[in-house]
Amino acid sequence: MKVWILRHGEAKPQARTDAERELTANGREEVLRIAAHLMGQPVQRIIASPYVRARQTAELVRQALGFAEAIVTVPWLTPESNPHKVLELLDAYSEENVLLVSHQPLVGSLIGLAVQGSVQQAQPMHTASLAQLEADLPLAGAMELVDVWHAE
């Protein structure tokens, strides 16, 4: 199983609620630059947070890749979601190669948990940072961090 974890692009600082914050023009450009690292990769499913900026990020990547499938929006990829629960739920996709689009602090903690077995060893993830992990199953401490790319 391959898992790519993408933090959304730069978002506007304010909106009526945090969930409604949209990507900035710079954020859209960041996402398109980082999407180049996914070209030719065997992504089979894109799963995104319900927050606007994450859905916009996922849609930009979907379009850049020419990915035909619809984006799956799930409530368990929000900023304060539990990384342990995310790994548990990710097990349902263990036969697929998936792209997760979410937020800090979740993405950094999730990578730390998957690779190091601890949320205390979070991976630094800037806006539009992309990490690639691999493993037979999505288990704490059992995944390999293949690479991390940061938007320039």
Report the number of distinct structural domains present in the chain.
1
Specify the CATH number for the domain of residue 106: 3.40.50.1240
Looking at residue 43, its pLDDT comes to: 97
Range of the domain at 142: 2-149
pLDDT tens, position by position, for the chain (152 residues)? 999 999 999 999 999 999 999 999 999 999 999 999 999 999 999 999 999 999 999 999 999 999 999 999 999 999 999 999 999 999 999 999 999 999 999 999 999 999 999 999 999 999 999 999 999 999 999 999 999 999 87
Q: How far apart are CA 112 and CA 116, in angstroms?
A: 5
Please say whether the beta carbons of 114 and 138 come within 8 A: yes
